[in-house]
């Protein structure tokens, strides 16, 4: 039996750019930085970063290009994907990536330049039971 599933949460290292294959299908490559901290036997915190390459296709790619930018937080669910290509010099290359089946945005999406600015929300009205004094309980 074979099964694979990859779950990652991190931040984009660069603003992604939507591309299209020769047959017109949308795709998008981006890298996410996944931070990790642990305490080894010495007792001091050790921080590390793992960079994970992600590729997505179709509507997922279009939405990511529309709403994500460098630093955006994402949760990616996908599977491992082996990309293979040949360089202009005829050398065969390959790269192991995460093929995203779902990308959940964890931070506020970038605003599109053609949208009007959103009005600020009015302050919330106090409930009847709230007092005006600054009692902390």
In contact, 97 and 83? CB cutoff 8 Å: yes
Q: How far is residue 79 from each of residues 8, 42, 110, measured CA to CA in Å?
A: 11, 35, 26
pLDDT of residue 73: 96
pLDDT of residue 44: 81
Domains of the chain, CATH where assigned: 6-105 (2.40.50.140)
Per-block average pLDDT, block size 10, for the chain (137 residues)? 94 95 94 89 84 96 95 96 92 95 88 50 48 50
Q: Where are the beta strands (DSSP E) in 60-128?
A: 73-86, 92-105
Is beta strand 73-86 parallel, antiparallel or unpaired with respect to 6-12?
antiparallel
> What are the percentages of helix, strand and coil residues in the chain, rounded to 5?
5, 45, 45
pTM score: 0.72
């Amino acid at each position: 039996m074979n099964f694979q599933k990859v779950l990652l949460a991190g931040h984009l290292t660069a603003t992604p750019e939507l591309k299209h294959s020769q047959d017109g299908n949308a795709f998008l490559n981006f890298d996410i930085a996944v931070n990790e901290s642990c305490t080894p036997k010495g007792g001091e915190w050790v921080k590390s970063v793992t960079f994970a390459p992600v590729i997505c296709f179709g509507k997922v790619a279009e939405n990511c290009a529309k709403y994500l930018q460098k630093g955006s937080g994402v949760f990616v669910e996908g599977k491992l994907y082996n990309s293979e290509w040949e360089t202009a010099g005829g050398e065969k290359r390959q790269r192991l990536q995460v093929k995203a089946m779902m990308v959940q945005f964890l931070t506020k999406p970038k605003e599109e330049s053609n949208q009007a600015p959103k009005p600020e929300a009015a302050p919330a009205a106090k409930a009847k039971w709230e007092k005006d004094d600054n009692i902390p309980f």
